[in-house]
C-alpha cells in the first residue's frame, strides 16, 4: 500500500534534532536573555525585563518582555536555529507581509515594532503581545484532548457553532484573497512601499533541507520571482523530483516503489511545463480524461499578472480569539508569498485541523469526513459573501465547490507537499488525468500503466535513477552534494521532457 505520507530521512532528522538541542541551551543562557532585553529596551526606549518562560515553537523562539511603566508586553521573536533553514529571508518576508496586511486589509495582525535580518541575537522581530482567551483550534477541536496529540475537529461540535466559526475564518480568507500582485514571490518592504521581489519560500522547501538534506542548489534561486503561473508549477514539480533524487535514506523501499515515484514526478513535471496543471478542473481544461464527462463552470484565473497571497502555515491554531470567539490576531505569517490564484480558490485543507496524510484512520476516511464538513464550510462562506462589502473578484464558494468535485483541491495540495505527493497522485489525480488504470494492477505496479507516456528517453532515465537509489540504500549516510553535480543530476532525471500527448 502506498503510504499517505512518505518517510522523511531519519538520519537527517536525527542530526537536525541534535543541533536543535544544543541551540536551545544557548537560547536559554542568561547572556542571550540579556541581549534580548537589551534589544527590546533599545527599540522601545524603555527598561525591559524578561517574563518567563521562553516559548519554543515549531519555527520560532518567543521571549515575552515586560516594559517598565507599560501595561502591555511585547514579544521578541527569533527564527528557531536549525529548524528554520532561511532565517534571514523568513524574517524579512514575514515582516513585510505583516506590515502589508496591516496597511491594506482588515485582517488583525500584531503590531510590528521592529525587525531586522541581522542583530546580536540574529534575525529578529519585535511584536505586540496580543491578549487572547484561546485560539481557533481550541474552539474547533475535541475538548480536553491530550495536548501531545495533534488537535482534530470535534465530531460532536454543534452545527450552528461550527458554521459561525467557519464564517469568521471565511471572512479572513476573503480579505487575504483581495490584494493582487503581478509576480509570484515574497513581499519585501522598502521605505514603506511593498513589492514582490524575493523568491517564494515554502514550508516544503524548509523541510527538504531540514529533514531530507536536499541540496540548496536545486531549489529556486534567491531573489528570483516567477512571472507566469506555469513556471511556478514547473518549479514545484522539479522540487518533487529533487526530493526523490537527493533524499538518501528511507524514501524508496523497492525498485517498483522507485518507479512509481519517478513516473508520478515525471508526468507531473511534464503537465506543468505544458501549462496543463494550471487549467485542470476549470472550463479551459480540455486535456484531462475527466474533462470529457465532468462539466464545470468556473474559468481559469489569469496566469501571468494576477496572483494572491498564500500562507503555507495559515491554520486555526494561528488565529487568536477573545472571550466572544472573535479573531483578535492572525499570527505566524512565515511561508507567505504571492502564489497562483488557484491555491486561493480551493477549500482550505484545515477544516478538520489535521492534514490528510496524517489522519489516524487513513486518507480515504479523511476525505469522507472532509466532504461532510465541506458542506458546512460552503454555507459559511456563502454567509460571508452575502455579509461582506469588500469581496475578491471571484465567487469563492463556487470555485471551492468545484475544486473539491473536480480534484483541483488535490492537485494544489500535491503540488505543495513532497511527502504526500505519491499517495495523492496515484489515488486522486492519475485517473482524473489519464483515465482508468488496469483494475487488476497492484499498487506497486501502478507505474506500468503510465510508463509508455515517458518515451524512450524518460524510461532510460527512470532505470538509471532506480539503480542509483538501490545502490544508495545499502549505506545510511548523508551526502553533501556539489552544486553543479546536483543540478546536472536533476536535469538528467527530468530528461528532455518535451511532454507527451494525453
Q: How many residues does the chain have?
A: 502
| pLDDT tens profile 137-189 | 999 999 998 888 899 999 999 999 999 999 999 999 999 999 999 999 999 99
The confidence band for 496, taking pLDDT boundaries of 50, 70 and 90, is low
Decide if 127 contacts 74 (C-beta within 8 A): yes
| pLDDT tens profile 22-62 | 999 999 999 999 999 999 999 999 999 999 999 999 999 99
Q: Which residues pair with 125 in a beta bridge?
A: 77, 115
Please name the residues in contact with 370: beta carbons below 8 A apart, sequence gap of 6 or more.
351, 352, 356
Decide if 47 contacts 41 (C-beta within 8 A): yes
Distance (Å, whole) CA 480 – CA 371:
44
| pLDDT tens profile 416-434 | 999 999 999 999 999 999 9
Which set of grid coordinates corresponds to residue 129? 503581545
Distance (Å, whole) CA 302 – CA 471:
45
pLDDT at 390 (0 to 100)? 80
Decide if 37 contacts 48 (C-beta within 8 A): yes
Cell 519554543 identifies what position? 56
Least confident of 259-268, 353-362, 489-498: 489-498
pLDDT at residue 500 is higher than 80: no
Please name the residues in contact with 52: beta carbons below 8 A apart, sequence gap of 6 or more.
none
pLDDT at 251 (0 to 100)? 98
pLDDT at residue 502 is higher than 60: no
Decide if 265 contacts 240 (C-beta within 8 A): yes
pLDDT at 439 (0 to 100)? 65
Decide if 365 contacts 372 (C-beta within 8 A): no
Average pLDDT, the chain: 96
Q: In the CATH scheme, what is the homologous superfamily, with its name and number, of domain 16-131?
A: Phosphorylase Kinase; domain 1 (3.30.200.20)
Cell 485560539 identifies what position? 135
pLDDT at residue 127 is higher than 50: yes
- String of DSSP letters for 148-164: TSPP-B-TT--HHHHHH
H or E segment at 74?
A: strand 74-79
| pLDDT tens profile 327-372 | 999 999 999 999 999 999 999 999 999 999 999 999 999 999 999 9
| pLDDT tens profile 90-115 | 999 999 999 999 999 999 999 999 99
Q: What is the pTM of this model?
A: 0.96
Distance (Å, whole) CA 458 – CA 493:
8
Distance (Å, whole) CA 489 – CA 495:
10
- CA distances, 373 to each of 28, 169, 172, 193, 362 (Å): 43, 14, 19, 40, 17
Share of the chain above pLDDT 70, in %: 98
pLDDT at residue 325 is higher than 60: yes
> 113, 176, 435, 174: which is closest to 311 by C-alpha?
176
pLDDT at 305 (0 to 100)? 83
Amino acid at each position: 500500500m502506498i503510504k499517505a505520507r512518505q518517510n522523511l530521512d531519519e538520519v537527517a532528522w536525527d542530526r537536525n534534532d541534535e543541533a536543535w538541542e544544543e541551540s536551545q541551551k544557548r537560547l536559554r543562557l542568561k547572556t542571550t536573555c540579556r541581549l534580548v532585553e537589551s534589544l527590546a529596551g533599545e527599540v522601545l526606549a524603555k527598561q525591559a525585563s524578561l517574563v518567563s518562560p521562553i516559548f519554543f515553537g515549531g519555527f520560532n523562539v518567543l521571549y515575552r518582555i515586560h516594559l517598565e511603566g507599560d501595561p502591555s508586553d511585547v514579544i521578541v521573536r527569533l527564527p528557531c536555529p536549525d529548524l528554520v533553514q532561511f532565517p534571514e529571508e523568513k524574517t524579512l518576508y514575514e515582516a513585510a507581509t505583516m506590515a502589508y496586511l496591516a496597511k491594506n486589509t482588515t485582517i488583525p495582525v500584531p503590531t510590528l515594532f521592529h525587525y531586522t535580518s541581522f542583530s546580536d541575537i540574529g534575525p529578529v522581530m519585535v511584536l505586540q503581545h496580543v491578549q487572547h482567551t484561546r485560539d481557533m483550534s481550541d474552539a474547533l477541536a475535541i475538548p480536553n484532548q491530550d495536548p501531545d496529540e495533534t488537535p482534530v475537529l470535534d465530531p460532536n461540535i454543534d452545527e450552528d457553532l461550527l458554521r459561525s466559526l467557519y464564517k469568521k475564518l471565511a471572512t479572513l480568507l476573503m480579505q487575504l484573497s483581495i490584494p493582487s500582485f503581478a509576480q509570484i514571490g515574497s513581499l519585501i518592504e522598502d521605505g514603506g512601499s511593498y513589492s514582490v521581489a524575493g523568491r517564494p519560500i515554502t514550508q516544503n522547501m524548509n523541510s527538504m533541507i531540514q529533514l531530507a538534506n536536499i541540496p540548496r542548489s536545486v531549489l529556486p534561486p534567491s531573489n528570483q520571482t516567477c512571472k507566469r503561473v506555469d513556471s511556478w508549477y514547473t518549479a514545484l514539480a522539479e522540487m518533487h523530483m529533487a526530493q526523490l533524487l537527493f533524499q538518501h535514506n528511507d524514501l524508496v523501499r523497492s525498485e517498483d516503489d522507485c518507479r512509481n515515484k519517478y513516473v508520478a514526478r515525471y508526468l507531473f513535471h511534464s503537465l506543468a511545463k505544458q501549462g496543463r496543471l494550471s487549467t485542470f478542473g476549470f472550463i479551459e481544461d480540455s486535456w484531462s480524461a475527466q474533462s470529457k464527462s465532468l462539466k464545470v463552470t468556473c474559468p481559469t484565473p489569469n496566469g501571468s499578472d494576477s496572483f494572491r497571497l498564500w500562507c503555507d502555515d495559515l491554520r486555526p491554531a494561528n488565529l487568536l480569539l477573545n472571550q466572544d470567539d472573535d479573531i483578535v490576531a492572525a499570527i505566524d505569517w512565515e511561508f507567505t508569498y504571492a502564489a497562483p490564484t488557484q491555491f486561493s480558490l480551493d477549500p482550505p485543507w484545515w477544516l478538520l485541523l489535521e492534514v490528510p496524510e496524517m489522519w489516524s484512520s487513513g486518507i480515504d476516511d479523511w476525505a469522507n469526513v472532509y466532504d461532510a464538513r465541506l458542506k458546512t464550510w460552503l454555507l459559511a462562506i456563502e454567509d460571508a459573501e452575502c455579509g461582506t462589502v469588500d469581496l475578491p473578484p471571484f465567487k469563492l464558494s463556487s470555485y471551492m465547490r468545484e475544486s473539491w468535485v473536480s480534484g483541483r483541491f488535490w492537485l494544489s495540495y500535491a503540488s505543495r507537499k513532497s511527502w504526500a505527493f505519491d499517495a495523492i497522485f496515484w489515488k486522486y489525480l492519475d485517473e482524473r488525468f489519464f483515465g482508468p488504470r488496469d483494475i487488476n494492477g497492484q499498487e506497486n505496479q501502478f507505474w506500468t500503466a503510465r510508463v509508455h507516456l515517458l518515451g524512450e528517453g524518460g524510461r532510460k532515465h527512470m532505470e538509471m535513477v532506480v539503480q542509483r537509489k538501490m545502490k544508495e540504500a545499502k549505506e545510511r549516510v548523508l551526502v553533501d552534494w556539489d552544486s553543479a553535480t546536483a543540478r546536472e543530476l536533476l536535469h538528467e532525471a527530468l530528461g528532455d521532457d518535451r511532454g507527451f500527448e494525453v
